[in-house]
Chain A
Amino acid sequence: MAGLHIDKINKSYGPARVLADIDLSIVDGEFVVLVGPSGCGKSTLLRMIAGLDAPTSGDIFIGNRLVNALAPAERKIAMVFQSYALYPHMDVRKNMTFGLKFTGVEPSERERRVAEAARMLRLEDLLGRYPRDLSGGQRQRVAIGRAIVREPDVFLFDEPLSNLDAALRVSTRVEIARLHRLLGATMVYVTHDQIEAMTLADRIVVMNQGQIEQVGKPLELYYTPANLFVAGFIGSPAMNFFPAEVESIEGDKVRAKGPTIARVTLPAGSLTRGSKLTIGVRPEHLTAGAPGDFSTTGAVELVERLGEASYAHVRRADDKLMVAEIRGRDTPAPGQTVTFSAPAEDVHVFDEAGRRL
């Protein structure tokens, strides 16, 4: 078991810079999820940890060992791929033992590890089957089993659930969480799905355009996003943003207003008069009717009823749409003008550069 330390990693393909000065430390046994939109460099970073791609500059340490010059097999890592990448011409048992043969593991030890992994993943009945005879979920369990038998210091997952259907994705997600608890190994997991990130991670690394936007615990990212990108990326439906300007400062209270905001009262902090702001409020924190520190008004255009909640799409004064979550049986009718409000603690404030205040 070992932690992982990434020091100033850069990666360029010609003039295109896909990773810029990435620093990241992962402690032993931690489950870290790299999340971000496609093309943000998260998979590239994972492939560099695996040793499948070389960084243009920077160092990677696995358990205090500099691994830059080491081949993937010498790094004590195991990787699970999106397409499972099982060897089609080998049965399940052979798929799992194949790599061990080349790293000098004794046959009896191989058998022991396969038996243990098969028990852990309930693969005992499938050991003699070929990958083409397995379902998607079974294939992914075999791929995870192939990683387990290597007894690696670090597990790397590259979007392992993307090829599964919705129901299987949930059950396999639970399986992976269970495995992490069972093995206590360091795991690095790449996904573009924020639900996977929120449910699995000890810490989430949000990436965008080759840079790390924020590193934090799932609820930290949700409640105190460091910038507009994280605020908009984490949470579904996405946070509503409102342009605003500081109007007056009265003691420890600040009043700000904007074209779409009737009223917002904020703690003073470092704000000065005339500061341009972006106010963010999550749909689930907006309440219809009730008074609050923040309030905005608009005409309901469409209501999506999901059962446990409904989403009202509301046309604001600046002609953009915002979303408000409504609980309960009473939903506003389309065309109705409604005032929504939120308490100060649920209002996120960002400065002109998009940083959290």
Chain B
Amino acid sequence: MRGSFAKRTMAEPLSQVVASMPRGRFLALMALFLGPAVAIYTLFSIYPLIATMALSTYTTDSSGAYQFVGLVNFVTLLTDAVWSKPFWNAAWNNLVFFAVHMLVQNPIGIALAGLLSLPGLKLKSLYRTVIFLPTMLSVVIVGFSWNLILSPLWGVAEGALKAVGLGSWFAPWLGLPSTALVTLALISVWQFVGIPMMLIYAALLNIPDELIDAARVDGLGHFRIFWHIKLPLVLPTIGLVSILTFVGNFNAFDLIYTVKGALAGPNFASDILGTFFYRTFFGFQLQLGNPTMGAAVATVMFFIILAGVCLYLFIVQRRLRRYAF
């Protein structure tokens, strides 16, 4: 009784005012509140998206005129040898790029957050700031710095490895087709590991102290408390971090463009969808720009990310809901 009374007094003044409003005024009010956001979102997100999708269904003939061709561009992209080989190469590389982030960046971020949340750790805020620092640097600077560090001609990496007796391990990692992509992914991991660390650290701080006390009374040590109590309780945040990583990785372009240029060498070994799209749309060196095929690549990228996000929202996040307090 009391609950419903409280709810009514809370909601009633508003709903009565709105309910007694003439319909025209109500709609005007809605337009006033929703209008600006809808207008901006439409102008800068929805319209370009639809325009891109529309463009991907056209092609240009020799005179430069646009002709509607339906889904032909997509068929070309996925089946024609000239297009499909670099496309699948870029898609696969992008998957590897994402996998490195998931297997290296996020576990290290979780482990760092776990260490930061240990009671009695000194200099917490110093570690936190230092680890987060690279995230605030421009990708261009990070890419350029690592390019210099790893350079076999004048980089410090070889000397540093020699100093600890591991000189024979050194290889021009950015220059070898077998290692370039993973090396670039690890540079990106180095730069952005602070983001999962911060998000998961914040989630760990949310776990009540009494819960940890209860686990200690139950006989768990620090590691088991982390594994059995803290980790399950931050799974929703880990899910969020994963989807952010996924979206970020499949939109990535800047680091590879900075370090390897648009050709994403050596021999396209570090080519991902972002750089592939760039060459397709704008052209590079001998390759002419092709806006309609570029739009098709962009549309495919959009659907890959959409599929990933839907998978997360409708399957993963639903299952994680049971970990809520």
B interface majority secondary structure:
helix
Q: Which residues of A contact B208 (CB under 8 A)?
A: 83, 85
Residues of A within 8 A of B23 (CB): none
CB neighbors of A among B210-232 (8 A): 210-211, 213-220, 224, 228-229, 232
- Assuming A87-B229, A130-B322, A132-B324, is B214 touching A79 (CB within 8 A)? yes
| A103 interface residue per 8 A CB criterion | yes
- The answer to the question of B233 belonging to the interface, with a C-beta cut-off of 8 Å to chain A, is yes
- Of A52, A79, A89, A103, which contacts B233 at CB under 8 A? A89
**Of B210, B323, B324, which is in contact with the most chain A CB atoms at under 10 Å from its CB?**
B210
Q: Does B325 make an interface contact (CB < 8 A)?
A: yes
Q: Given the complex, which residues of A lie within 8 Å of B224, measured CB to CB?
A: 102
Whose C-beta in chain B lies nearest to the C-beta of A79?
A: B217
Q: In B129-160, which residues have CB < 8 Å from any A CB?
A: none
Q: Which residues of A contact B324 (CB under 8 A)?
A: 88, 132
B325 neighbours in A (Cβ, 8 Å): 88, 132
Q: Sort chain A's interface into a size bin.
A: 20 to 34
Nearest Cβ on chain A to B99's Cβ, whole angstroms = 27
A77 cross-chain contacts in B, Cβ below 8 A: 217
- Cβ A52 vs Cβ B217 within 8 A: yes
* Nearest chain B residue, comparing its CB with the CB of A99: B218
Name A85's contact: one of B211, B232, B233, B322 (CB within 8 Å). Answer: B211
Q: Chain B residues near A47 (CB, 8 Å)?
A: 213
In the complex, what residue of chain B is closest to A80 when comparing beta carbons?
Answer: B214
Kindly state the separation between the CA atoms of A6 and B220 in the bound complex, as whole angstroms: 25
Contact status A88-B323, CB under 8 Å: yes
Q: When chains A and B are docked, how far (Å) is the Cα of A83 from the Cα of B323?
A: 17
Check A85–B210 contact: CB distance below 8 A.
Answer: yes
Question: Within the complex, what minimum Cβ distance (angstroms) separates A211 from chain B?
Answer: 25
Most buried by A among B213, B228, B233: B213
Q: Which of B217, B322, B323 is within 8 Å of A72, CB to CB?
A: B217
Whether A71 and B219, one on each chain, are in contact in the complex, defined by CB atoms closer than 8 angstroms, is: yes
**Residues in B whose Cβ lies below 8 Å from that of A79:** 213-214, 217
Query: Least Cβ distance of A165 to chain B in Å?
Result: 11
Task: Enumerate A69-113 residues with CB–CB distance to B below 8 Å.
Answer: 71-74, 77-79, 81-83, 85-89, 98-99, 102-103
Residues of chain A contacted by B228 (CB below 8 angstroms) = 98
With A and B bound together, what is the CA distance between A71 and B218 in angstroms?
10
Residue in A74, A78, A81, A88 whose CB lies within 8 Å of B210: A81
Of B214, B229, B233, B323, most buried by chain A (CB within 10 Å of CB) is: B214
**Which of chain A's residues has its CB closest to B224's CB?**
A102
Contacts of A71 in B (CB 8 A): 216, 219
Residues of A within 8 A of B218 (CB): 73, 98-99, 102
Select A52's contact among B211, B216, B219, B220, beta carbons within 8 Å. Answer: B216
Q: Is A118 an interface residue (CB 8 A)?
A: no
Q: Which residue of A lies closest to B228 (CB)?
A: A98
Whether A73 contacts B216 by the Cβ 8 Å rule is: yes
Are B217 and A99 interface neighbours, CB within 8 A? yes
- Alpha-carbon separation in the docked complex, A244 to B45 (Å): 83
Please report the total number of B residues contacting A with Cβ < 8 Å.
Answer: 20
- State whether B217 touches A89 (Cβ < 8 A): no
Distance in Å from the Cβ of B197 to the closest Cβ of chain A?
Answer: 22
Q: How far is the CA of A51 from the CA of B325 in the complex (A)?
A: 26
What residues of A have a CB within 8 angstroms of the CB of B233 in the complex? 88-89
Report how far A75 CA is from B54 CA in the complex, Å.
71
Instruction: For the complex formed, measure the closest distance between the CB of A80 and the CB atoms of chain B, giving whole angstroms.
Output: 9
- Bound CA span A339–B322, Å: 65
Q: How far is the CA of A73 from the CA of B213 in the complex (A)?
A: 11
Q: Which residue of A lies closest to B213 (CB)?
A: A52
Contact of B213 among A74, A81, A98 (CB under 8 A): A81
Residues from chain B with a CB closer than 8 A to the CB of A9 are: none
Q: Is residue A50 within 8 Å, beta carbon to beta carbon, of the partner chain?
A: yes
Query: What does the 1/0 interface line of A42-53 toward B look like (CB < 8 Å)?
Result: 000001001110
Which B residues are in CB contact (< 8 Å) with A82?
210
B-side contacts of A78, CB under 8 Å? 217
CB closest chain-A residue, reference B325: A88
B228 to chain A, nearest CB (A): 8
In the complex formed, the residue of B with least CB distance to A91 is B322
Is the pair B219, A102 in contact by a Cβ cutoff of 8 Å?
Answer: yes
Contacts of A50 in B (CB 8 A): 213, 217
> Least Cβ distance of A99 to chain B in Å?
3
List of B residues within 8 angstroms of A73 by Cβ: 216-220
Per the bound structure, the CA–CA distance linking A85 and B324 in Å amounts to 14
Query: Distance (Å) between the CB of A229 and the closest chain B CB?
Result: 29
Contacts of B210 in A (CB 8 A): 81-83, 85
User: What residue in chain B is nearest A83 (Cβ atoms)?
Assistant: B210
CB distance from A128 to the nearest CB of B (A): 13
Docked pose: A50 CA to B212 CA in angstroms: 13
B215 cross-chain contacts in A, Cβ below 8 A: 87
Q: Collect the chain A residues with CB atoms within 8 Å of residue B214's CB.
A: 79, 81, 85-87, 146
In the bound complex, do residue B216 and residue A102 qualify as a contact, i.e. CB atoms below 8 Å apart?
Answer: no
Bound Cα distance A74, B224 (Å): 16
| Residue of B210, B218, B220 with highest tally of chain A CB at under 10 A | B218
Residue ID in chain A nearest B323 by CB atoms:
A89
Bound CA–CA A74/B325 (angstroms): 29
CA distance A196 to B325 in the complex (A): 29
- B residues 221-268 touching A (CB-CB < 8 Å): 224, 228-229, 232-233
For the complex, what is the distance from the CA of A47 to the CA of B213, rounded to whole Å? 9
User: Which residue from A74, A87, A103, A132 sits with its C-beta under 8 Å from B211?
Assistant: A87
Give residues of chain A (222-261) contacting chain B, Cβ–Cβ below 8 Å: none
Q: Which 10 A-B pairs have the closest CB atoms?
A: A73-B219, A99-B218, A85-B214, A85-B210, A102-B219, A81-B210, A89-B232, A72-B217, A89-B323, A79-B217
12 contacts between A and B (CB under 8 A): A47-B213, A50-B213, A51-B217, A72-B216, A81-B213, A82-B210, A83-B210, A85-B210, A87-B211, A99-B220, A102-B224, A103-B219
A50-B217, A81-B214, A88-B324 given; name 14 further pairs at CB < 8 Å: A71-B219, A72-B216, A72-B219, A73-B220, A77-B217, A79-B213, A85-B210, A85-B214, A87-B229, A88-B325, A102-B224, A130-B322, A132-B324, A146-B214
